[in-house]
Structure 1
Amino acid sequence: MPKPTRYVLLLACVLLLALGLAGTALAGKDHGSSGISIPPEDVEKVEVLYFHPRFRCVSCNNVEKYAREVTRDEFADEIEEGKLTFRSLEIDDPKNRELVDELGVTGSSLYVVATGDGKEEHREIKSVWLHWNDPEKCREIISSEIDSVLYGGQGAGRLPLAGVPVVLAAFLLGLLTAISPCPLATNIAALSYVSKKLEDRRYTVLASALYTAGRMVAYTVVGGLLILVGLSASRVSLFFQEYSDWILGPLLILFGLVMLDVLKISIFKGRITAAIQEKIGDWGLVSSFLLGMLFALAFCPYSAILFFGMLIPIAVEAAGGIALPAIYGLGTGLPVMIFAIALAVGVSEIGKHVARVQKFEKYFRWFAGVVFIGVGVYYLVVLVKSFF
């Protein structure tokens, strides 16, 4: 194996190993949320705090409603005794700034704060957001969390440890990106590139692995920077929480029009990408790694929404989120690896399927464009209705 290739492989492995260790170290930390260790018999007061931005969506209103109802209906005696209170607080209100900073609030969120034994501890009830449209389940989670602080027992509102569901979500988002209309063409180009020496199976397998590693490293660098910014600049998160409904609808409609070729935006034509691809085409195995990085950074509207709009917000909030872009990158490159390895071992039928997928790419893109426009219109309708 040539020395440059070994260096690239070593660098990729070191980076991915470091990210894995960082993710493991962070997995035990829950940003903005800690456990409550005060024994129930020592708890003197419990506060249920709901934080919200100035403009609220349907899910935000539902969670506040359920939390208010649970505290009022199921813990009436505790409220009368002054042991339990419920408060709804606007994040941007200056008088709440100290509490927002103390708890690390970055958006709509529900907290249980316990006081007793000479200390104050808090825990965020995150899983209510997974069930905001299920009143019974949402109330059950809130009730269980309050009960666990007041009387002991296991709360139901904490997300699973080690980020397993979040890791799965990142991987599935990567797969969705890989087979989505816009990136599909680049993946087909990558498949033809890494499989150009089919007679050398070892070369094909290494090239596809390096291509995937390149995607993982590129997404990790970009995502890592954004996650660090998100964790250290809560105002950015608050801005998107407050104004996302105003932005998302028009953007989805715009991207839908681009996918339908109604709007022609040259940045999505890939001329620069094609020129660079041609330039590095003769660099051997190293070029596969660089090509993976290049294609990962060639965001189109669809992949940009999946990465910036879905993965990064999840990663900012998740324990060990710094490792999620690498998992996402693995998902985006895995189909190329599978097809390349299949071709290398002589599965000739794969080539026919790839050609068929390429033929129908434009129909997939048109379908996605219609869906984007439909969802964008829905967001605008909901936004308009919120004013009446």
Structure 2
Amino acid sequence: MSYRVLRRAMVAGAIALAFPLAASAQVKVGVTVSSTGPAASLGIPERDTVSLLPTEVAGEKVVYVVLDDATDTTQAVRNTRKLVTEDNVDVVLGTSATPGSLAMIDVVAENQVPMISVAANASIIEPMEGARKWVFKTPQNDLLMAEGLAATMEKQGVKTLGFIGFNDAYGDGWLDVMRKAAEAKGISVVSAERYNRNDTSVTGQILKLLASKPDAVLIGAAGTPVALPQRELKNRGFAGQIYHTHGSANNDVLRVCGRDCEGIILPSGPLLVVDQLPDDHPAKVSAKAYQTVYEGKYGAGTTNTFGGHMWDAGQLVVAAIPVALESGAKPGTVEFRQALRDAIEAVTDLSASQGVFNMTETDHSGLDERARVMVKVVDGKWTYQPDL
């Protein structure tokens, strides 16, 4: 083949590649979740939920690029950088755990890509300034849940509280907000112990905790690693009430923990007990819709609250896309990403699986008390407790 013929072929190939891309603008959603590693019980249902999200919105094709960060903060950052610089996504969803989500913030901000985290800690979106203006999240803020716990503790006569939680940002955040919420109810946090997500023993921490003789204990952890201190407390004969955060609100916890989880109390999003909610609960219809779609694909009883957080992130994107398109900006551009960020921030009265979202310039969580119910494990099942 002559140089001239080869050059013509190369030019023709380049044109053939360029024109379909220009003619088929599409909204690209990047996703990084922890579908392996210690947070896998969170990340797997989040990953599985992505396949249920719409592939066309307002006449535009929507595609999803899903990566696993293995509950590793460095990998979460690496995934995020790939999604925004190589895949040119318009929005990032994830990740499952707080440390990874916090580490992703600078990457999305420097590339001006909106991010919706599915991790809980309020530090992901607070203080709402600088890089965080690009970041939103769907799980309930820790303080909202801690206030519900403190009110329940007060009703149950708790005066002293022990704490054991993750030795990371999740545990830090929960210890901080629980101290504030407890003190407001006249409850003292008398001891605080920490452990790592992949630890295999917490015997030393539990012995120190029990030495302070608390009326009750709060486990500030998430996913199946919560079973480790729960079992140790039971094995050591602790007779007080054991509370958990909403990070324990999934069926995998019950599966791993078994009988040792009987009687635990925690705050949760309404999705966890959707079938037990009164018909007038503002999130019931939306939560039921997600349950129907998820269990239609994955089987009866498989609905998971963490998958619900990803579903809600998807609903925020679906609500924002038409508004962003009205600006005239095209998917794949800086202008569209800015318009999408602005549209997410303007979402109001969006009923989703975990509550009703009302985003503002200063609140990128947007949830209120309607996103919180109290539940208790009774006979191995989550039960709605409206009187707690």
Bigger RCO (CA 8 Å, 6+ sep): 1
Q: Which has the higher helix share?
A: 1
Bigger strand fraction: 2
